[in-house]
Amino acid sequence: QITLKESGPTLVKPTQTLTLTCTFSGFSLSTNGVGVGWIRQPPGKALEWLALIYWDDDKRYSPSLKSRLTITKDTSKNQVVLTMTNMDPVDTATYYCAHRNWDQLLNWFDPWGQGTLVTVSS
């Protein structure tokens, strides 16, 4: 059974850097084809993909947020870390991590972590 859980601060101040950790079990990030993504959802709004890291350490970022994001993995700890710099109140959202499953060239997010609400406020 695959599970993921996000952890990190619930409140950050504007201009600070946010660091979120996704701790997972049931799969290895060293297995061919596997990936972990981060997705966020502002209150009452739609889902927005942020970043994705693959088993081979390939990394992809949302073009609109690329300059502010860094995604890394620690395979030995079964963790993926997302950092977002220069936080702003508009970044207030629930942040999810999710397992990237795949079949040939097709892929999808399943399952997802429970999410963690991050509020940006002074």
Partner 1 sequence: DIQMTQSPSSLSASVGDRVTITCRASQSISRHLNWYQQKPGKAPKLLIYAASSLQSGVPSRFSGSGSGTDFTLTISSLQPEDFATYYCQQSYSNPTFGQGTRLEIK
Min. distance of Cβ 98 from partner 1 in angstroms?
Answer: 8
Residue 1: how many other CB atoms lie within 10 Å? 6
Residue 37: how many other CB atoms lie within 10 Å? 23
C-beta closer to partner 1: residue 21 or 112: 112
Q: How far apart are CA 9 and CA 99, in angstroms?
A: 22
Given a contact cutoff of 8 angstroms between Cβ atoms, the answer to whether 55 and 30 are in contact is yes
Among positions 23, 34, 60, 119, the unique one binding partner 1 when judged by CB under 8 A: 60
Count residues near partner 1 (CB under 8 A).
25
Q: Does 7 bind partner 1 (CB under 8 A)?
A: no
Min. distance of Cβ 94 from partner 1 in angstroms?
Answer: 9
Bridge partners (DSSP) of residue 81 are 21, 72
- The residues binding partner 1 (CB under 8 A) are 37, 39, 46-49, 52, 60-63, 96, 101, 103, 105-115
